[in-house]
Amino acid sequence: MPASALTRKHVRGTSQQENARAKARTRVRDARIALNEPAHVIAQRARLRYQRAQQPARIPSKKPRLVSTPTRQDRSVIWVMRLFALGIVISLFAVVSIQTTIAKRQITIDSLRTEQKKEINKFQKIRHDIAELKSPERITRRASHLGLVQPSHFVSISIPMPVAIRSDQQDEKLWSEVKAIINVTP
């Protein structure tokens, strides 16, 4: 077989493939258009295309076709879904902020607890030191170190002072008067 015959056959095969692809593209384009246009407009376009191709016209069906248009209900469903997604995002932010607040407060509580433990230890140390300083053995040791000695006999001196009634005794006197008034039966 000569080389020119092979190339003609190859070229003819290529042009047939291109024609088939072009027809498939027009069918896809027609299908896309058909979803948005009424049937009589598509039928008119098909008649013109077949007349230009010099082929016998194939008349499309005259049956009415249902064309779906986006309804208000579809739009409302979309808006409901958007609002739902927005609610989820907002709730996630709320949960994250609450968890952050809880973590901050827990850190504060932990620092207060460690400070409390330090203060308790400091208090116990001071209490131990006070008990040690108040002990009679320590006081006698310190007194002997300073040169103080115990007296051999004790002398008591009475100092005359006017004695006033203590405030707690006055309160008891008033309270007894109040009790007497309350307990009076008519």
Residue 117, token pair as written in the block = 């433990």
pLDDT of residue 72: 65
| pLDDT for 110 | 96
Residues 6+ apart with CB under 8 A from 49: 26
pLDDT in tens, the chain (186 residues): 455 544 444 445 567 778 777 777 777 676 766 677 777 777 787 777 777 776 555 566 666 666 666 666 677 888 899 999 999 999 999 999 999 999 999 999 999 999 999 999 999 999 999 999 999 999 888 888 998 888 788 777 776 766 666 666 666 777 777 777 777 654
Where do we find the tokens 């209490």?
A: 127
Q: Which residue has the tokens 């058909």?
A: 34
Q: What is the pLDDT of residue 123?
A: 96
Token pair 């979803």 is found at 35
Q: How far apart are CA 30 and CA 48, in angstroms?
A: 13
At residue 6, the pLDDT reads 47
The verdict on pTM exceeding 0.85 is no
Please report the pLDDT score of residue 118 as a whole number: 96
- Inter-axis angle of helices 136-146 and 72-134, nearest 10: 50
